[in-house]
A and B are shown apart, each in its own frame.
Chain A
Amino acid sequence: MESLEEIKARVEAAVPGAKIEIVPNAAVPAQTSLLLDREHAVAIAKFLRDDPVLQLDHCSNVTGVDWLDRKVTKKVKVKKVVEGVEKEIEEAQEEFFAGYLEAVYHLFSMSSKHGPVIIRMRTPDRATGAHLPSLISIWRSAEFQEREIFDLYGIKFDGHPDLRRILMWDEFEDFPMRKDYREPDDYEYEPTPHDEVLDKAKQHYPLRPQLDGAEKITATDSHG
């Protein structure tokens, strides 16, 4: 199979405007992946599938990954004037990386029996911008797997015909696979209607101090 650099060059020639980045993988260099830009992802995926050399017709695994906001503190040497003398001082600088959600697709070729080519897409942020284009029009196998990512990570796949929760129940609100997910204390908590019902009951029946006002009955009272 071609190297990823060759694939990248060919895709960028075939799909005008496409931006592809190679994401290194230190542990398994053979499984380095391509980061696609969201606008051209469907066109690139179509190219990868239909290209006579690549023929990546088998989209095996589709999955989400959650990357939180992170801060990296670096020690940087800075030149500063201290008490009239220029000195080199080490200073801690914080660099902020905004978090994002990621969808990873593992592609293989059933006709040419090679692979994997790994493609990934990233959302701009983890909240309102968590949208990615759906690749279901290219590979049908993304149908349930993208639904699963939507269910567990909360990435909305634009163009998916049936984007509903799949493993969690429909009324569930949070996204359990996110790294900052906290599970509720009680899944089955429902506000009980007791206070309301009691208020209504008070309006209906005359007060019965001997029963309702139990705190008024003291030891002396009961003994006459």
Chain B
Amino acid sequence: MTMEFHELEQAPPAMTSRIEGDLMEVSMGPQHPSTHGVFRMNVALEGEVVRKLKPVFGYLHRNHEKIGENTSYLGSMPYTDRLDYFCSMTNNWAYALSVEKLAAIEVPERAEYLRVILAELTRLQNHASLLGFLLSDMGAWGTPLMYAFREREKILDLFESLSGSRMMCDYMRFGGCRVDPGPDWFARAQKIVEAFPRFLDEFEELIVSNEILIARTQGVGKLSAELAISAGITGPMLRASGVNYDLRKVDGYGIYPRFKFRVPLGDHGDCYDRLMIRALEMRETLDILKQAMKEVPAGPIMNPKVKIRAFKPPAGEAYGRIEGPKGELGFYLISDGSANPYRYRVRPPSFINLTVLEDMCLGHTVADVMVILGSVDIVMGEVDR
């Protein structure tokens, strides 16, 4: 099941008989269009084949955690939006969940439903735009990305009418949500959810049996289940390697146990599987959304007992985690009883998912590196924090 690190560190067989001088060092990034922000890889190439790859981080580092320690608990909530700026709703939820764990706060029923609906909408738009970006990295420039962004924009419009901002939503609070959407909002969301399968059908038809896509992704960047588990890979990337681990099922946080949905799993752990997992997950997400929208109860969206100003949780520590669109997003908080957390730590899924980037890229060509990196699904705001 598990593997010692030195076994993984062994160089691939082709390298042993070669002269070191044959390797050419190339610095990919940080301004490469397919590095999704400012991310650099130092790659050693033998001809076109990757023999070594070291990621270089930190171009977007602003020490989010230190700022979190110097801010009140609520003050960090809008800042979590800036971690993974594609999924501010799930970032809010993960942070709110950890604080709720720390201070033993209960969340009203209606807020739980809203959280599920918003998190699943976030997952939809994250996965859709990832597929668009991935195809764009592969050279299908423009069209698929614009198709995905057209759908994403509809969901962002929903977020904007609810929270006032497209991407920096700052919507959740400890013990609930910030504003109550009217019945009109649910009707609009319903329409989008009902129309979404059409986009998915169209998109899948574009990609699933596309000869070029299959040639570029199948068998590329394989990740074994053993290595994925040992390296702490989570989210769609882990499930593409065939490991059944979805926190919505395992932890059952929020009200997820009430919904029926399946967890898609991959067989090969290659780029094609990672891509298709996202497409399949969107279908399951639509299922959850349909179930959740049907039964949203009336009632308050905020726990009235929670103090918003001068909020001071008891001394202690808590680790809360949710299944974000990119993987396990966790917040670890240590409280000393004061208004600021003593320690505020983000467990960034896309940062930890990059641990195996080198292992996946070895032996493939430079052009494949872009596809493999794209299939990891990173956002530098979260990687560098």
Contacts and interface: CB of A to CB of B under 8 A. Distances in A.
A168 B315 contact: no
A65 B343 contact: yes
Given A25-B317, A27-B335, A61-B332, A140 B231 contact: yes
B355 A143 contact: yes
A110 B229 contact: yes
A93 interface: no
Contacts of B103: 27
A161 B9 contact: yes
A118 B343 CA distance: 16
B232 A27 contact: no
Interface in A114-149: 116, 118, 136-141, 143-145
Contacts, number: 115
B345 to A, nearest CB: 5
A140 B232 contact: yes
B85 interface: no
Contacts of B58: 166-169
Interface in B286-336: 313-319, 321, 328, 330, 332, 334-335
Contact of B5 (A25, A57, A161, A177): A161
Tell which of A60, A65, A116, A169 has the most Cβ of chain B within 10 Å: A60
A177 B64 CA distance: 10
Contacts of B356: 140
Interface residues of A, number: 39
B63 A176 contact: yes
A177 B63 contact: yes
A61 B1 contact: no
Contacts of B352: 141, 144-145
Interface in B224-243: 227, 229-234, 243
Interface in B89-113: 101-104
Nearest to A50: B2
A26 interface: yes
A27 B57 CA distance: 35
B146 to A, nearest CB: 34
Nearest to B321: A60
A26 B5 contact: no
Contacts of A49: 2
A118 B334 CA distance: 13
B36 interface: no
A28 to B, nearest CB: 5
Interface string B336-359: 000000110101000110111000
14 contacts: A27-B316, A31-B318, A58-B232, A60-B234, A63-B345, A104-B332, A110-B229, A113-B250, A140-B230, A145-B352, A166-B58, A167-B57, A167-B61, A177-B63
